[in-house]
Structure 1
Amino acid sequence: MFWVLLLLLAWGFSGFACARLCLAAGRQGTTERTAATADDGRDLTLYEAAYLSGGPARVADLAMVRMARRHRLLLAHTGWATVVNPSGHDEMERFVIAAIGPGGQSRIAPVRTAAARSEAIRHLGDRLEHAGLAVPAGSGTDVASGVRLVRAAALAVPVLAATALLLPSDTELSFLMVGLWFLLPMLLTLGFLLIARFELRPYTRWASPAGQRLLVALTERRERPEDDGDDDGFGYGYGADRDGGETGFLTSLATRGIRALAEPELRAAFNHRDQPWRE
């Protein structure tokens, strides 16, 4: 009767994995309902789009490039940032200036890291999460890990069944009975995987499905001429940069990252590896 212990183990593993996936899916559904109460017609601001596309580091990149484009910061291809105008126009820019230090010059990498951990970006993420546009901490990971756990259970059950079937058996009937008993948890895990495949909506690392829809809408409206005047909480709205296609450039940076930069020197500034500074 040792096979009964293996059967209990198979049921326990399968039940735990499926229950965990159900809980993660429930949290995802709560986030979806929260987002449904938000105004889907709202326009994402540049900082919001950057956060939903690439997280805190993307917001820091956007802030620094924006400052460079407005001649408040010099980003050298050697990987150094130099303050040109020490008066930031929003909380994020002020934090970037403070992270550079009183000397007015610092390597870009540590400034970027410090800015990404700032209170300004943390508050931005909290607002987006509350609005149902950003993935709550651990939400997307929980769903993904839940699916992986169910897949592991689906693989473990046949292994346990094979082990049980290899045990000495008195009759052919008991052999068939053991196989049927192990078939049930196998069907359970496969059923959950099938449901997850068609019913669970995918999350990116940062944006919920509602946030992803707004990102798509923002990209489609990038060339729209009118200014919607939206405010991102840092002092700039989506239309605030609309001069000579500047908003289109910054929107591409927010949604695609550094690879969207057309200027080779700017790309080199962010991709530069730390080397000893030479005057």
Structure 2
Amino acid sequence: MTTTKRRTRIDPTDVIDYRLSHSYAETLQEFGLTPGRFFTVVNEAYRNGDIGKDGREQCLVIERPTLNDYFSEVRDGERSKLPHGTHLAKENNANLVEIVLEPLVLKTPETPVSEAPKTPIIYKDASREQKIQIIRNSVINHPAKDNDSYNGAQQFFYDHGLAGLITGSPHLRKNNSPIALLELYDKERKVGLFDRTQDTYLGRWEITQNGMWQGKDGKKLALEAIEDALWKIPGYRNASREQKIQLIRDHVINYKARNDDKNGALAILS
């Protein structure tokens, strides 16, 4: 049986030096610290100028297995919240998103049992294109739990225990934004979810959130949404300016709706 070392007085610089060459869990055990006390020590070192902002963030990174344990304890009600300072480390942000995405299963069309995959494809093992499909099906189209609940990506993260992250992370370009949270995850993990140079990609406009069409960001989002609709026209994406104009005349302005309810540009963009 191992015993945790306890020291009457802790020098923050000793803790920092040890942490920079050991894991989060090892540091807590070595100095007999709780996660809350460790955060206090790291902040003290930061205020004293012993470490900078980047150094503080590095100290607060919780290795994936340990973070997974903490998160499971929170979801199971064994812990009230994640350790203090968890959201201050960008790596923790990306890992938390990854933790809730990885178990999601790829939904496939109904097929005979003999043709169905032997084992379900989960997000963790999925290809880039399959990951995008999983996010569309399970995150963007996340259903409401009941008549009093909301649906969509923001509610998905709330329902999966990431309300504190999406509302409290200093690394998100916009607070309480599922788009910003997925952007952060995508940038850190280099999945290429929003890479519009690929044939398959996730449109930011697909992820609904309050105020998404407002301001400069809203204008950019609207342009991407319109362009994505136009790119569905065969040949439009790589056409010349003159060819684009003709394609818009043929396929947008003169668009004929299947049900004859709407025709023209409004129909194809709706």
Give the TM-score normalised by structure 2. 0.22
Higher helix proportion, which one? 1
Bigger radius of gyration? 1
TM-score normalized by the length of structure 1 = 0.21
Query: Which is bigger in relative contact order (C-alpha 8 A, separation at least 6)?
Result: 1
